[in-house]
């Protein structure tokens, strides 16, 4: 929440609607070069942005919401958790099209943890989770802000266990989180692919559970997990640009859904992942068709995420309406 307050303070100093100067590229932020940001990288690699007449520059920026909300960066990949927390501070950050839906997180353990905790293949998921009491996962930003950490809490609670049954060790970045597993600082990982496969390629272990294959999270079908966000003022001042941007993202989403192998091939030069691991990871992601989602469907998804405890503060109807619009989608 401190990050959201910082954004709010910064927003008071800037309009968030500054036009892109002639000759300057449209700046787009991603937090990390990972499959979650694939639509942006793919739209750039396959020329979708250029075909829309957009000159785009993608930058890796740790705190995307800060620069996007203040208009320093025109568009950014923002997960719904961050979007709604920012909306509660009324800073003008707005989702304009949807990227990932139906998140697929994987729970895996090292062989050392498997043996030390007495896990067996015949155990139910609940029994395996019960045996992991006191173990820790790593999460960038920690329990209060990391959506994966909150999703783990929901998984534990769905199995009748307290949300803090497995602890959360806060890390500053993904590389530190991977190193913690490799150094046996933690023995459990709960991340989307390709992180689990990457880690297990260095540290022997096994996958226990995948949300994407489980009926436990069926309520998350078609729930927006991440969006393309911008300043609401910038979008209103540049509607044609925003529509073109969303159109390019929608084309990339469709390519990712229809041809995940081709997407992996196109992305291998921009993502620091073993090409075979990346190829195996891409089909585990689901994307909003055409980048589109109705406002009512988005609002329903926020209600689902709220019911799962994904937000520190339940979003109000007004903040939810301010946080997302389908006005710039085709």
Q: Give the global pTM.
A: 0.91
Cα 174 to Cα 33: distance, rounded to the nearest angstrom? 11
Cα 207 to Cα 192: distance, rounded to the nearest angstrom? 12
- The pLDDT tens digits of the residues spanning 144-188 come to 778 999 999 999 999 999 999 999 988 877 677 778 888 889 999
Checking if the pLDDT of 210 tops 70, the result is yes
Checking if the pLDDT of 141 tops 90, the result is no
Residue carrying the six token digits 């209060």 = 144
Checking if the pLDDT of 1 tops 50, the result is no
Helix H, strand E, coil C: the string for 89-102 is: CCCCEEEEEECEEC
The maximal CA–CA distance of the chain, rounded, in angstroms, is 64
Across the chain, how many H-helices and E-strands are there?
16, 12
Checking if the pLDDT of 271 tops 60, the result is yes
Sign of CA dihedral 110, 187, 1, 60: negative
Checking if the pLDDT of 268 tops 70, the result is yes
pLDDT exceeding 70 applies to what percent of the chain? 94
What's 21's DSSP letter? Answer: P
- Hey, what domains does the chain have and what are their CATH numbers? 2-102+221-323 (3.40.190.10), 105-217 (3.40.190.10)
């Amino acid at each position: 929440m401190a990050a959201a307050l910082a954004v709010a303070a910064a927003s008071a100093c800037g309009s968030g609607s500054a036009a892109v100067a002639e000759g300057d590229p449209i700046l787009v932020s991603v937090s990390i070069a990972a499959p979650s940001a694939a639509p942006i990288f793919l739209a750039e690699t396959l020329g979708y942005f250029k075909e829309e007449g957009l000159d785009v520059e993608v930058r890796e920026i740790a705190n995307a919401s800060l620069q996007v909300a203040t208009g320093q960066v025109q568009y950014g990949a923002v997960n719904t958790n961050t979007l709604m927390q920012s909306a509660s501070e009324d800073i003008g950050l707005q989702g304009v099209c949807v990227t990932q839906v139906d998140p697929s997180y994987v729970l895996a353990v090292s062989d050392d943890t498997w043996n030390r905790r007495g896990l067996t293949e015949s155990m139910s998921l609940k029994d395996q989770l019960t045996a992991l009491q006191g173990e820790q996962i790593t999460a960038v930003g920690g329990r209060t802000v990391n959506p994966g950490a909150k999703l783990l809490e929901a998984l534990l609670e769905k199995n009748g266990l307290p949300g803090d049954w497995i602890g959360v060790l806060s890390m500053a970045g993904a590389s530190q989180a991977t190193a913690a597993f490799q150094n046996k600082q933690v023995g459990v990982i709960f991340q989307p692919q390709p992180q689990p496969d990457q880690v297990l390629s260095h540290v022997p272990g096994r996958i226990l559970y995948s949300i994407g294959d489980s009926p436990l999270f069926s309520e998350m079908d078609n729930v927006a997990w991440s969006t393309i966000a911008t300043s609401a003022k910038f979008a209103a001042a540049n509607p044609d640009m925003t529509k073109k941007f969303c159109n390019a993202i929608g084309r990339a989403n469709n390519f990712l859904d229809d041809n995940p192998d081709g997407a992996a091939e196109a992305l291998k030069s921009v993502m620091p992942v073993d090409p075979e691991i990346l190829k195996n990871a891409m089909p585990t992601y689901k994307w909003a068709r055409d980048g589109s989602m109705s406002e009512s469907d988005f609002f329903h998804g926020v209600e689902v995420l709220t019911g799962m405890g994904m937000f520190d503060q339940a979003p109000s109807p007004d903040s939810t309406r301010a946080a997302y619009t389908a006005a710039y989608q085709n």
